[in-house]
Chains A and B, each alone.
Chain A
Amino acid sequence: MRLAAAIAACVLGAALAAPPARADRLIVSVSNHRVTVTPNYSGEELVLFGSVEKDGNTPPGRNAYDLVVTVSGPRMDLVTRRKERKFGIWINTDSRQFLKVPSYLAVFSNRPLEQIASPEVQRRQQVGLNNVLLTQRVGPDYADVVPEDAFRSAFVRLRKQHGLYRQETSAVTFLTPTLFRTGIPLPAEVPIGTYNVDIKLFADGVLVTRTETAFEIVKVGFEQFVANAARNNGFVYGLVTAMMALMTGWMASIVFRKD
């Protein structure tokens, strides 16, 4: 371990000493930039693929790359509550608000994160569920806390249970030393909106380059129409729904009339 750290430090020093040339470039694409939600939509799996383009500045002999892909969905405010026993019953006592955190957060890499970069680099680059910034309202302050924080870890665990947060350290596969792909599973519960895909390329424990792409999940046709009507014309929408209820009730009484 100590040897590895020493090597990493040497490499880091070398990288810092070298002129800031853009050695490698990332070229990526998502299989579908616009996921449409139709009546039979039940989630989707996208594929991200790309390649590492080397140029003259690439240190010779560099062949082993590491890749971390972070997909984050539209941001929302969520509250995590904790139950405690009081007067013999279990009630919500303490709560923590998470502000503008990703509704969907997925981290994919080609091997365990601790083998890719040091904890310090991971933290600085916000790599992994433990290091992505999740802002909490702590009293009057806004801050992220340590990953071991009870509320933070419970939050991440519960989001994981619903498939909305995930971390898979063997999801990225290198087809050739420079050509890679990974699947982005989107369960049906993921919210509508824009999803950012952040791709970070590491080599020998340091960040080489990064790039971003995005895709969106949108409602179309009937779904879009209903959602818009509910939002923009609440009164008419409510009236139509109430009328629909009465019509359904009336029709049933006709259909099932016996006498």
Chain B
Amino acid sequence: MNTSTNIVYLIALPLFSSALLMLLGRKADKWGHIFATLISASAFFVGVTEFFAMRSRPEEARAVTQKLFTWISVGDFQVDASLLLDQLSIAFVLLITGVGTLIHIYSIAYMSHDRDRRRFFAYLNFFIAAMLLLVLGDSYLNLYVGWEGVGLASYLLIGFWNQKPEYATAAKKAFVMNRVGDFGLSIAIMIGFATFGSVSFSGIEEKVGGAGETALTAMGLMLLLAAAGKSAQFPLQAWLGDAMAGPTPVSALIHAATMVTAGVYLITRSNFIFDNAPTAQLAVVMIGIITLLFGAVIGTAKDDIKKALAASTMSQIGYMILATGFGPAGYAFAIMHLLTHGFFKAGMFLGAGSVMHGMNDEVNMRKYGGLAKFMPITSITFGLGYLAIIGVPPFAGFYSKDKIIETAFNAGGVQGVIFGGAALLGAVITAFYMTRVMLLTFAGNKRWASDAHPHESPFLMWAPMAVLAIGSVASGYLLYSGKAIVKWLAPVVDKDHHEHVEFLPPIVVTTLAIVAVLIGVSIALLKYRGEQSDSAPSDVSIWTRFARRDLLQDDANEFLFMRPGQEVTKALVVTDERVIDGAVRGVAASAVGSARGLRKLQTGYVRNYALLILIGAALILAAIWVVTI
């Protein structure tokens, strides 16, 4: 494979800038935001240069690597700090640095009144560096560094205003739930090393044919767990809604366009595992379907504009995960939806930020209404994103989502009908809740707080929104026409050039998808046109209440994990003091044989402990058996 010497700058530039802004502290307050934005732009420039260089090379010579140094070398465990820039990673590089730079620009204005703006930009740059490492690492272990790096950035940014206790809690929750995913990634890497003697993508892919299906299935399921943590997929989805505590540009960049899609990247990058592990693939499909419906349902019940968009993100990533579950037939469409989603969802989040900016940081859509007249640019850019996400032709989401629904039907048979039907149902609900967001925010009667004076946002804010809106309009067609994205990614995700069977003619699926959108929009129009109340109705069905409570996701976690965990912790703290330390003290006392010790003996003190020690010994024997099988 060809080598390159430029890839490292993609990561080094923002990493350096981030460290510089942190170390200089207040001294960099005056220019830190400008500097960070320029650095992000220069990373984008490097990315664009690399992209054109890659395009000019023949297909088989497009991927390039750059070895930096030997990172860990112990026995057969050999891991280089080494980067891989191929057709898949360059797509992410452009998304991360492109959308990232737009969001840097937006944040200059959005965060202009915050005393810690410089620190915010340092975190943003750090995030860009970590996210680029995630998609550029040539092995699972390099990916892992970026993987936790973005997790740290996300933690720091969700908790950017951590003086509010609930924001600090949201940050912690995100980190801990992500660690559950990291558990999966760790185990997957261990399985990979024990099975193949390697942790690099190419090292494993080379030998994948010799592995048994059990090992591959186990590795696939663990990778799926990792993906679920990072991408807020069921059952690790509960952190994303709370993550909206972070400043809105963060929600746009990290919790919509890039970081949360890392799970989709992970599965696509691990295509050689999943393509040989059908059970794991089925699990991927199931998780995708559950999450796309789960998120969509929550989206229908949220009055907080950011939380509605977050639920939508969860649901849209569900579509992407669903697509990756179909193997070579779906990877390219997953990535296509990921890219178009990056445009329209980031655009809508920035739009939400713009609305909040004009409405004294109000997030409750019941307190909006009729804003189109006062924020024309925001309403147009947001509206284009809206048309894209619900899948109106020819906007971006139409192409990408349509292709996923089509692929789902192509699974064939009853399965295909169920998968495709679920994806269509998701499209109906999406059209419904997004229309609801549009109507509540931009149309209808004014329900503003008395001190609200909505106004259009400054140029630095609306310009990035406008660029993203253009992407929301055009990116779908550009990626779709001439099968551009499919052909581009084929050398990575479809090396054998599978023939894809069509279960339903595409025109039928497209018609179905458009009908689904019309149904969703119509229901929303019927329900939310005209006058609305400025508070949520309380005489609602139990189902609405479930949806408002995020389908009980927090209650379930609390009941299943938090409470029992707290009880176990309390019990063990007591056990440690009384039983274990007590046993030692008891033994010491009896060994001394003093009168006190004897008296304790007579009261059965030591005997009790002896019994406990016996029980403990039995448990340990059982544990030994478990641990060493």
The answer to whether A and B interact is no
A residues whose Cβ falls under 8 Å from a Cβ of B: none
